[in-house]
Amino acid sequence: MNGALSVRPEVPAWRLITTMALAGVLAGALIVIVHQSTQPTILRYKAEMLRRAVNQVLKQPERYETLYIYRGALIASVPEGVQSKGLDRLYVGYGADDQAVGFAIAAAEPGFQDIVRLIFGYDAMAGRLLGMKVLESKETPGLGDKIEKDAVFVSQFDGAATPLVGVKGGRGSDDPGEIDMITGATISSRAVIRIINNALERSVPLIAAREASR
């Protein structure tokens, strides 16, 4: 360290490669160890968040189960040899009498700023919504984020008839299919309505086919 001008000896290539490989292996090993010790907590939290969201939009069912969308049909368990990881899914909730009370459907589409991700409960028998919860959005704080935080707006989706129609806010419409849009956040409100309507358009035939085959 003392002679700043001393000539640096040539390092053979094998030493460079060994050092890098060794560093890579050590780094990988450390990451794997931390991964092993944190993964259970992370997975538990994610599952808990999902459980809470599903229970909230299905209005606290007795229990619920996951349905996978596989080859245009809803199935309760994935056939042997098929990865369930990449499949779209929805959740069916059951009441105390083991009757299906509704389906929880997650969907995502562009909002005002970026993609809005939400989940909603749908009562297929009555053709009405049970509830709606925004899972992820980057809408403007104070305006667009009311789709998530404004209790009055969110509660309108409880029992709303489908397909939803958005109307200008402030009128306090009594029609169950009409959603009062938030003043100053029309685009965000309209996006929520559009996301739900589009998701229903995709899911209702699947749900109907499943009911018909039972």
Partner 1 sequence: MQELFWILLSAMVVNNFTLSLFLGLCPFMGVSSRVETALRMGAANIFVLTITSICAWFLNTFVLAEAPYLRLISFIVVIASLVQIVEMVIKKLSPTLFRQLGIFLPLITTNCAILGLAIFQTNRGYGLLEGLFFAIGAGLGLTLALVLMASIRENSELASVPEVAKGTGLTLIIAGSLSLAFMGFAGLLSAA
Partner 2 sequence: MRETTRQEDLLRGIWRENPVLIQLLGLCPALAVTNSVENALAMGLATFFVLCGSSLLVSTLKKLIPHEVRISTYILIIATFVTVADMTLEAVVPEIHKALGAFIALIVVNCMILGRQEAFASKRPVGRALLDAVGTGVGFIIALLLMGSLRELLGNGSLLGISLFGPSYEPWVVMILPPGGFFALGALILALGWIQQRRAPRSQPQEWPEGVADREAA
Interface of this chain with partner 2, residues 46 to 75, rule: CB under 8 A: 49
Q: Which of 5, 6, 7, 11 binds partner 2 (CB under 8 A)?
A: 11
Where do we find the tokens 């035939």?
205
Please name the residues in contact with 179: beta carbons below 8 A apart, sequence gap of 6 or more.
153, 156, 157, 160, 164, 165, 166, 167, 189, 192, 193
Give 35 or 202: the residue with its C-beta nearer to partner 2: 35
Q: Minimum CB separation from partner 2 for residue 43, in Å?
A: 10
The amino acid at residue 128 is R
Q: Minimum CB separation from partner 2 for residue 34, in Å?
A: 5
* Nearest-10 Cα torsion for 67, 70, 75, 78: -90
Distance CA 8, CA 123 (A): 75
Query: How long is the chain?
Result: 214
Count of chain residues binding partner 2 (CB under 8 A)? 25
Q: Which residues bind partner 1 (CB under 8 A)?
A: 24, 27-28, 31-32, 35, 110-115, 140, 187, 190-191, 193-194
Give 64 or 112: the residue with its C-beta nearer to partner 1: 112
Token pair for 160: 């709303």
Which residues of the shown chain bind partner 2 in the complex (CB under 8 A)? 1, 4, 8, 11, 15-16, 19-20, 23-24, 27, 30-31, 34-35, 38-39, 41-42, 45, 49, 140-143
